[in-house]
């Protein structure tokens, strides 16, 4: 297991529509392993492949926040939203590719997701609460979309400028 570097916005790889995974092979299993390690290490509750520079349709998540509870690491390959609730939910979102910036985003409160597991089998599950927010945030990443794309142009530009500055500073040290 290797921790991989997380790309910081703005980066062209975070804006791409990612390609479907064609086979669950050793490379995909190794990527899933690395993504989970990178997510837990960050720490974060989700991570999409493009955030580590791999523009494939794959994400990991674990929204069990309480350290006393059993972790639930999930790997979703080629995930699809098969149903969204009418009811909406707003959540103060953050993103590992946009460090220290938070904003309220409104999304369907519940979603049903179908995906391919590391076992090579189709799975389907309904998510609610933080899990629903997280899985929609991650699937957005696979379509080149970031949570700041839901904000007004002014707010988005302010955050983008901060990130450009942060990246310049990171490059100097």
- Residues serving a catalytic function are 138
Which residue in 49, 95, 116, 148 binds ligand GNR (CB under 6 A)? 95
If we measure between CA atoms, which residue out of 35, 20, 42 comes closest to residue 116?
Answer: 20
**Contact call for residue 138 and ligand GNR (CB under 6 A):** yes
CB-based contact 36:4 (threshold 8 Å): no
Residue whose CB is less far from Ni ion, 18 or 95: 95
**Contact call for residue 137 and ligand GNR (CB under 6 A):** yes
For the bound state, the minimum distance from the C-beta of residue 23 to Ni ion, rounded and expressed in Å, comes to: 26
**Contact call for residue 96 and ligand GNR (CB under 6 A):** yes
As a whole number of angstroms, the distance between CA 157 and CA 85 comes to 31
Residue 80, beta-bridge partner list:
114
User: How far, in whole angstroms, is CA 46 from its chain's centroid?
Assistant: 5
Which residue in 14, 18, 38, 46 binds ligand GNR (CB under 6 A)? 46
Tokens representing residue 18 in the block: 């990612």
> Which residues of the chain form contacts with ligand GNR (CB under 6 A)?
44-48, 51, 91, 93-97, 133-134, 137-138, 141
């Amino acid at each position: 297991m290797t921790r991989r570097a997380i790309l910081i916005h703005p980066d062209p790889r975070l804006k791409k529509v990612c390609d479907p995974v064609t086979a669950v092979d050793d490379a995909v299993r190794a990527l899933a392993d690395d993504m989970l390690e990178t997510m837990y290490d960050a720490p974060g509750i989700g991570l999409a492949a493009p955030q580590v520079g791999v523009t494939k349709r794959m994400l990991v998540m674990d929204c069990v926040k309480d350290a006393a509870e059993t972790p639930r690491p999930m790997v979703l390959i080629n995930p699809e939203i098969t149903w969204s609730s009418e009811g909406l939910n707003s959540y103060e979102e953050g993103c590992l590719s946009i460090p220290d910036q938070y904003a309220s985003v409104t999304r369907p409160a519940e979603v049903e997701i179908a995906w391919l597991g590391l076992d090579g089998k189709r799975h389907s599950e309904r998510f609610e609460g933080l899990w629903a927010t997280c899985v929609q945030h991650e699937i957005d990443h696979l379509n080149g979309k970031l949570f700041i794309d839901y904000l007004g142009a002014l707010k988005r530009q302010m955050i983008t400028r901060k990130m450009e500055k942060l990246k310049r500073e990171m490059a100097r040290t």
